[in-house]
Chains A and B, each alone.
Chain A
Amino acid sequence: MVEHLHSDGEEPCVTLDAFLSQSNATAVRLEPDEDARALIPYLDRLKLIEVAFPKFRDGRGYSSARILREAGYAGELRAQGDVLVDQIAYMKRCGFDSFAPEKPLNPADVEAALTRWPDHYQTAADKAVPIWKLRHG
């Protein structure tokens, strides 16, 4: 869950290439230029997918996350790297449920960022009901 910014003592992630050639891993790391859809056949047995954000400006990981959730992935989806407090609300909407920032975040700022928005205009990968649906039921 989002409150747990990082969880320790787990199986290390393997690269996408290693995962695709070594089928018993349950944790994989996806780089920005790697195709999330390559994982779709294996989602049932994956426990953790770590999506790399080497630079916060590189937004490909947001699409990777949504694609994985839209394909039914139910395991842990972690944003790792240059993950800043001002991005995590969007990351959560795209389906991330854990965060491994390189630089520690101030928990109060995280709490504020994640509770700031009363509602959302769009449907995304979280459970939020979009504003148009609130308007029309």
Chain B
Amino acid sequence: MYQYDEYDQAMVDARVAEFADQVRRRLAGEITEDQFKPLRLMNGLYLQLHAYMLRVAVPYGTLSSRQMRMLAHIARKYDRDYGHFTTRQNLQYNWIKLEDAPAILADLASVEMHAIQTSGNCIRNISSDQWASAAADEITDPRPWAELLRQWSSFHPEFSYLPRKFKIAVIAAEEDRAAMRLHDIGIQIVEKDGQHGAAVYVGGGMGRTPMIAPLIKDFVPLEDLLSYLEACLRVYNRYGRRDNIYKARIKILIHELGADEYRRQVEEEFVHVKSLGIDPPRAEFDRIAALFAPPALDVSAPDEIDRGDPDFAVWVDSQVAAHKVPGHAIVNISLKPVGGIPGDASSAQIDLMADLAETYSHDELRVTHAQNIVLPHVRKADLYAIWQQLDAAGLATPNLDLISDIIACPGLDYCSLANARSIPVAQKIATRFADLDRQKELGELKLKISGCINACGHHHAGHIGILGVDRKGTENYQLLLGGSGAEDVSLGTITGPGFDEDGVVDAIERVTDKYLAERTEGERFVDTFRRVGMAPFKEAIYG
């Protein structure tokens, strides 16, 4: 994986010093909260309902064991002994003291980590495919591209006060595991005439106006990529709406201009920007790519798995995915135990996962946008030992992509923007469907919950989505069906009037019962929904 050189380290160290100085000036009353707010936000520090929340960047979701252990250490020392993995592959601490923030950033910098641009109206942490370099279906590792963009977007002088936040995802496989087209810019690395380049989608997003990003350019060669993105961002920075925070994302600009007119403006700007010489040479990409060289895996490692232990076999069938190298596997660790908080992990669990990665997965872990953890490079022969240790730590729930593998935002339990709680709803659904055989009978069913219209819980992209709203002072939950954040990307449709907390759980049960009655052999929930439409489900829900 990527390793800082002296330049990267110096930049992060400078940022720590800068923020320490900003916190000092804030605590001394030299700057107002209004002036401090964008500065702390660009360092990932939010003021929530009960305390400061610190969001730590995990670039493209990749962590070493040493970095993972530092996350546990910070949770133990400065927070309440746990952390929360997020839908943008980052980690959040919910109980941070402002005066501790500089020391935490210094601890992070000591392991090549930071919280730079994890908030604010700037280019955020770049997300990617959690199976990068292990997935059989990728054409290349997308992370060198993502790292190139991380460096370009870090402390970008022109694009740090954009109309609104800006999220970029990079994938390099046909299967989209990163919700690529629901980002401000989604990049898919594709091949043309033997060269890799970027298919650039611009203007996707969730929030209150969900949109699927249209393709703006089918192939941008590597040597033009930064110029092209600079042109995309410059058009947005100049012409994106600033009169209304809810209409300030790039998706609105593109919707109002039309994709063709936006493309025309970008192409015109690109011709100019390309003349400025801002694209690094191929050697810089090669330097980065070399650091992402795949680990030396033993291709003669045994391919059989001893499935003698039935509980282990259940876990293997659910959590283990095919690796591109024979004898190896990708392990998906569920952070969704029944009744738990989706994405939360204790310091001890974080340490354990770090140990497992060090011993069995070439020192690497990944965070997924579905708030789980991946060990990307595991020998099949080691799976049983890994499962035993995960099981002992409460980390062996076999529910990947099942109805209890819920994405949920922190909701009104933590977030000052929320209208409704998300976590208790997730817990009730997982408890209602706790019977694993029942979950497996339902098959792939991606359930996503947001506690407000900002859609941090990706409810628009859920096969089943739940949106918590405030209705005359009480929490009310709208139900959506038919969304997807994958390569079959689609936006969910609201079923009708909302429900209270228990009512929405009942409604989901009526939806899943209807699905079981309607489906054809082997048909996923979302495919049945697409085939039969909303009407039968609506009738099942509302009578």
How many A residues face the partner with a CB closer than 8 A?
A: 38
Contact A117 B121 (CB under 8 A): no
Partner of A59 from the list B18, B155, B159, B226 (CB cut-off 8 Å) is B159
* A107 to B149 Cα, complex, angstroms: 34
Contact B151 A121 (CB under 8 A): yes
A4 beta carbon closer than 8 Å to chain B: no
Contacts of A106 in B (CB 8 A): 30
Of all chain A residues, the one with the shortest Cβ separation from B282 is A136
Contacts of A89 in B (CB 8 A): 157
A119 beta carbon closer than 8 Å to chain B: yes
Of all chain B residues, the one with the shortest Cβ separation from A126 is B157
Contact A136 B22 (CB under 8 A): no
Docked complex: B120-141 residues within 8 A CB-CB of A: 121
Contacts of A62 in B (CB 8 A): 157-161, 237
Contact B162 A59 (CB under 8 A): yes
Partner of A90 from the list B160, B226, B278, B280 (CB cut-off 8 Å) is B160
A118 beta carbon closer than 8 Å to chain B: yes
* A87 to B120 Cα, complex, angstroms: 14
A46 beta carbon closer than 8 Å to chain B: no
Partner of B281 from the list A70, A91, A93, A136 (CB cut-off 8 Å) is A136
Docked complex: A80-135 residues within 8 A CB-CB of B: 84, 86-87, 89-91, 93-94, 106, 109, 112-113, 116-124, 130-135
How many B residues face the partner with a CB closer than 8 A?
A: 41
* Given A118-B14, A134-B7: A123 touches B281 (CB 8 Å cut-off): no
Contacts of A117 in B (CB 8 A): 11, 14, 155
Q: How far is the CB of A96 from chain B (nearest CB, A)?
A: 10
Of all chain A residues, the one with the shortest Cβ separation from B234 is A63
* A119 to B151 Cα, complex, angstroms: 12
Q: How far is the CB of A33 from chain B (nearest CB, A)?
A: 9
* A115 to B18 Cα, complex, angstroms: 11
- Contacts A60-B238, A62-B157, A122-B156 known; list 17 others, CB within 8 Å: A57-B121, A60-B242, A62-B159, A86-B22, A86-B39, A89-B157, A90-B157, A91-B157, A112-B21, A116-B14, A116-B18, A117-B14, A118-B7, A120-B155, A122-B152, A122-B278, A135-B7
